[in-house]
């Protein structure tokens, strides 16, 4: 993964994944710094809302391919 920041693009290397309470904690290294990303249910819901359009488009394409295959 890469993180774009005011100091440039930095690689983020995931080193561990764990659950802490109700959060998913992604540990890693951001450039030279040890870092962690904490993801909550609210974060997942926000990403799902943002991804809804592309996911629906992908589902539509998949459905069309299935229909096409069944008709052959």
In the chain, domain spans: 1-39, 41-72
Q: What is the pLDDT of residue 5?
A: 86
**Mean pLDDT in order along the chain per 10 residues (72 residues):** 89 94 94 91 86 77 85 80
The pLDDT, as a whole number, for residue 49 is 83
Identify the pLDDT of residue 26. Answer: 94
Mention every residue, 6+ apart, whose C-beta is less than 8 A from residue 9.
2, 3
SS3 21: coil
DSSP class of residue 1?
A: -
Q: Beta 33-39 vs 23-30: how paired, if at all?
A: antiparallel
């Amino acid at each position: 993964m890469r993180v774009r920041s005011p100091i440039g693009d930095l690689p983020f290397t995931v080193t561990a994944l764990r659950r802490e309470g109700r959060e998913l904690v992604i540990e890693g290294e951001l450039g030279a710094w040890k870092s962690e990303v904490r993801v909550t249910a609210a974060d997942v819901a926000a990403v799902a809302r943002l991804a809804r359009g592309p996911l629906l488009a992908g589902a539509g394409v998949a459905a069309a391919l299935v229909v096409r295959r069944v008709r052959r």
